[in-house]
Amino acid sequence: MKAVFLDRDGVINVERGYTHKLEDFVILPDLIEVLKLLESKGYLLIVVSNQSGIAKGLYKQSDVEVLHAFMTKEFTKNGIKLSEIYYCVHHPDVSRCICRKPDSLFVEKALARFNIDPSKSYFIGDKERDTAAAEKAGVKGILIEANSSLKTILHIIK
């Protein structure tokens, strides 16, 4: 198996800083089209996101679950299947963990769970911690500018 791992804020939806309200969750243009193409090439789609606003008390885990349910529903309506959504609820100022990117626990967990070949997989993120997590797990990291079209990097993904 091969997979494309996706950061959430800035890659899937508009980065606003601690996005946790449904009215602020806007899926980026071209995303649906690109995800369909990636699926047609045989890639599993897996989201890996840091949601430190939970640890900081800025919003609740239930707020994140509402956004993820909405996102999954929108993808399903468009024929896109997410294999999993992993998110870290910690922040180093509040709690220690090994799941927060740049650590690679969630990537490694998905590799094992879905029998994914890291050498055939990619992680698209808008921060260096995303690509650092990818590289720790042996996955190719692709750093993009936040809120940019994923069409700009399709030539990299074989």
Annotated catalytic residues are 7, 9
Tell me which amino acid residue 7 is.
D
In 3-state terms, what secondary structure has residue 105?
A: helix
Cα–Cα distance between 142 and 140 in angstroms, integer? 7
Cα–Cα distance between 38 and 16 in angstroms, integer? 26
In 3-state terms, what secondary structure has residue 76?
A: helix
Q: Where are the beta strands (DSSP E) in 51-91?
A: 82-88
- Torsion angle of C-alpha atoms 57, 94, 141, 41, degrees rounded to 10: -40
Residues 6 or more apart whose CB falls under 8 angstroms from that of 2 comprise: 42, 43, 44, 116, 117, 120, 121
